[in-house]
Structure 1
Amino acid sequence: MAVNPVFNRIDKEAAQGGYAGFGTQQQGGYAQQGYAPPQGQPTFPAGYQPGPSESMSDQQLRDLYDQPPAGPAQTGRLTLDDVVVKTLVLFGLVLASSAVTWFVVGAQPDIATPVWLLGMLGSLGLSFAIAFSKKVNVGLIVSHAVLQGLFLGAISVTFEARYPGVVSTAVVATLATFVGMFIGWKAGFIKVTSKSRRIFGMFAMGYLVFLLVNLGASFLGFGDGWGIYGGPLGILISLLGVGLASYSLAVDFDSVDRAVSGGAPEKYSWLLGHGLVASLVWLYIEFLRLFAILQSSD
């Protein structure tokens, strides 16, 4: 949850000059490298070369040139609309699962810990299974969204009971940060480079290990249940988590842009939507923890 390995595969394929089955065929005599044929350029089957006996008439050539060029929907390529739709579908599943869990756990507070542990560890395990799977498994992606909803609903109702108002504050902060990061990335104020990706990946993986260690420490009673976050550096560590989760969104935006412009297959829209939702959930959890720590220190 603290790192999004989904985009590593997409970025690697984009860096290799295209995606399997896309942007490497000879089309109308033009060697394409990740781009659609020029406007009005007739498209021939891969490897087809008209011979002397197969010469086209002037009328046939005019008919080919008059045809509208094939768009992404016809070629099976990824579009931004595909990513938006899949992201909204998965985000809706997370919200629905969270709402159901909120009411169930709110009525039975004793089951809160088992439910959020199931949601957290289950979604974490599935996230790596999805990331390293050779195929896009929509079933796993949907199951991951449901498990994230279980985690969010249970942990949110638990925090709200102890720190009233913290959930609404975290929601507003998450949405504001999402919008701010998108504007900053789109305007070029927030840069995403190959070097920054590598540095971010190392920090994120280290932070994930830290979170798992801290989870064990909190169950052992360290820091009054906060684990390492309960110490004097708790607020600083929380701010670091918020910063990492925020930059994760910029990396996600950049990866979506590269996948769309690189002609990725449409099926990748599920992976991209899954990654965006995972980063958004991560950011919300970091804000939830930060505001709870601040409220408890008053």
Structure 2
Amino acid sequence: MRTSSNPAFRNLSSGQGGGYATFDRQGGGLMGGGAAYADAQASQVGYGRAGSGERPITIDDVVQKTAITAGAALVAGVLTAVSGAYFLALPAFIVGFVVSLIVIFKQSSNPALVLTYSVAMGVALGGVSGLFNDIYPGIALQAIIGTAGVFVGMLVLYKTGAVKVTPKFTKWLMGALIGVTVLMLFNLVMSLFGVNTGLRDGGPIAIIFSLVVIGVAAFSLMLDFDQATQAIRAGAPAKFAWYISFGLMTTLVWLYIEILRLLSYLRQD
């Protein structure tokens, strides 16, 4: 199984030493093997094939749960921004971060936890967006449209096969992810000592770096899509759609923040 740049899916795929089986639901069996082999492969991860009395996950489950989580975040964000309760941003971010750790390490498909994460991050992003929007009117809506556009664009690229998720692609993306993470940590440490690295000051280097980060986040969505596809092929339980939607939300949150940051750079005098 290919690893994902998303910590939620990466933890899942490596947790038990195996990945989802490649299950051909149309053909009624495993591609190149039987149902027993599918059970053996699926049992290696925390969420195997749907058991007796459980309905297997479908693409509709993933779409519906992702729409619910994204919608909850959007509503919470809009209400926070409109009400001017920007002070809730920091505590909401802390709550979202703590809940995300619980979901990731417990590999939980609990809808209450996933929705709590989405609402908390929606409030946090709503507060941040409200502050940015006061300085640059209309920037929050532009960031939302930009994030939605990138999501749809990457989904089209994935579904049409224009960009294929291969082991080589995954290794390249993981390397890029590590690179941008190291640079962001380096910038953070240097800023504590009053040193301006130019990565986040709104200048030409900052704009280029932000574009690179957005690119990495965008292509990370393709790995998330691939993880969802593998779960569906493996016949995972329907409840696993909540975990998949959580993984997609973490990438979308990161993508939105970077797009918002880039737009603020472009609108500086």
Q: Aligned match of 2:110 in 130, 137, 142?
A: 137
Which runs of 5 or more residues in structure 1 are unaligned? Answer: 20-24, 36-70
Residues 58-97 of structure 1 aligned to structure 2 (within 5 Å): 75-97=54-76
Q: Are residue 99 (structure 1) and residue 101 (structure 2) matched? A: no
Q: Secondary structure at the match of 2:165?
A: coil
Q: Are residue 229 (structure 1) and residue 229 (structure 2) matched? A: no
Q: Are residue 33 (structure 1) and residue 37 (structure 2) matched? A: yes
Separation in 2, partners of 1:128, 1:139: 14
Structure 1 pair 163–216 and aligned structure 2 pair: CA distance change class (3 A): farther
Q: CA deviation at 1:194?
A: 2.6
Q: CA deviation at 1:232?
A: 4.3
Which residue of the partner structure matches residue 45 of structure 2? none
Deviates more, 1:74-83 or 1:149-158: 74-83
Q: Are residue 240 (structure 1) and residue 219 (structure 2) matched? A: no
Structure 1 pair 168–74 and aligned structure 2 pair: CA distance change class (3 A): same
Matched letter for residue 249 of structure 2 = V
TM-score for the superposition, normalised by structure 2? 0.77
Matched letter for residue 38 of structure 2 = G
Which residue of the partner structure matches residue 6 of structure 2? 4
Deviations 1:65-90 (A, max 9, x none): xxxxxx99964211111111111111
Separation in 2, partners of 1:129, 1:212: 23
Which residue of the partner structure matches residue 43 of structure 2? none
Q: CA deviation at 1:210?
A: 4.7
Q: Aligned match of 1:271 in 221, 243, 259?
A: 243
On the 8 A contact 2:111/2:242 being kept in 1, the answer is: yes
Separation in 1, partners of 2:118, 2:235: 26
Separation in 1, partners of 2:249, 2:20: 27
Q: CA deviation at 1:285?
A: 1.4
Structure 1 pair 117–212 and aligned structure 2 pair: CA distance change class (3 A): farther
Which runs of 5 or more residues in structure 2 are unaligned? Answer: 23-28, 40-49
Matched letter for residue 80 of structure 1 = I
Structure 1 pair 175–83 and aligned structure 2 pair: CA distance change class (3 A): same
The percent identity for this pair of structures is: 33
Matched letter for residue 75 of structure 2 = A
Residues 1-298 of structure 1 aligned to structure 2 (within 5 Å): 4-12=6-14, 15-16=18-19, 18=21, 31-34=35-38, 75-104=54-83, 106=84, 112=86, 114-205=87-178, 207-208=180-181, 210-211=183-184, 214=187, 228-230=199-201, 231-296=203-268, 298=269
Deviates more, 1:203-212 or 1:4-13: 203-212
Query: Across the two proteins, how many residue pairs are aligned to each other?
Result: 243
Matched letter for residue 229 of structure 1 = R
Structure 1 pair 132–197 and aligned structure 2 pair: CA distance change class (3 A): farther
Deviations 1:212-259 (A, max 9, x none): 665676688766xx9841054101110011101111111111111111
Structure 1 pair 263–86 and aligned structure 2 pair: CA distance change class (3 A): same
On the 8 A contact 2:21/2:230 being kept in 1, the answer is: no
Q: Give the 4+ runs in structure 1 shifted more than 6 A.
A: 216-222
On the 8 A contact 1:245/1:279 being kept in 2, the answer is: yes
Separation in 1, partners of 2:247, 2:107: 16
Q: CA deviation at 1:293?
A: 0.4
Separation in 2, partners of 1:288, 1:116: 15
Q: CA deviation at 1:188?
A: 1.2
Q: CA deviation at 1:16?
A: 4.0
Q: CA deviation at 1:138?
A: 3.0
TM-score for the superposition, normalised by structure 1? 0.70
Structure 1 pair 135–295 and aligned structure 2 pair: CA distance change class (3 A): closer
